[in-house]
């Protein structure tokens, strides 16, 4: 999620630095940001299950139960 914040901040800074009044470039940048947000959210959701699985496996390796993952 920190990558998402950094990317949005950077793209917003680039987008607002344009002072020539070109609204078409603004619309394209806004659409690009929206597409990237959706793409990154999908990647985060796809990687969530393997990360939880790995966490539970590592907890099992050290002799702890999966309930420790809640903490």
Model confidence pLDDT, tens digit, residues 11-66: 766 666 555 666 665 666 677 778 888 888 899 899 999 999 999 999 999 998 88
14 close to 26: Cβ distance less than 8 angstroms: no
Structure pTM?
Answer: 0.53
Q: Is residue 68 one of the residues assigned to a domain?
A: no
Question: What is the structure's pLDDT at 60?
Answer: 93
Q: Is residue 70 one of the residues assigned to a domain?
A: no
Question: What is the structure's pLDDT at 53?
Answer: 93
Q: Is the dihedral of CA 46, 48, 53, 58 positive or negative?
A: positive
The residue to which tokens 């496996």 are assigned: 57
24 close to 37: Cβ distance less than 8 angstroms: no
Q: How many domains does the chain have?
A: 1
Q: Is residue 16 one of the residues assigned to a domain?
A: yes
Would the pLDDT of 70 be above 70? yes
Q: Is residue 26 one of the residues assigned to a domain?
A: yes
Question: What is the structure's pLDDT at 57?
Answer: 94
Q: Is residue 32 one of the residues assigned to a domain?
A: yes
**Where in the sequence is the domain holding 1, given as residue range(s)?**
1-59
Q: Is residue 65 one of the residues assigned to a domain?
A: no
């Amino acid at each position: 999620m920190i990558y998402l914040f950094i990317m949005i901040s950077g793209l917003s800074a680039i987008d607002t630095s344009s002072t020539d009044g070109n609204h078409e470039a603004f619309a394209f940048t806004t659409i690009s940001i929206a597409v990237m947000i959706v793409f990154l959210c999908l990647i985060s959701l796809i990687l969530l299950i393997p990360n939880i699985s790995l966490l539970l496996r590592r907890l099992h390796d050290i002799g702890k139960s999966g309930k420790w993952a809640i903490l």
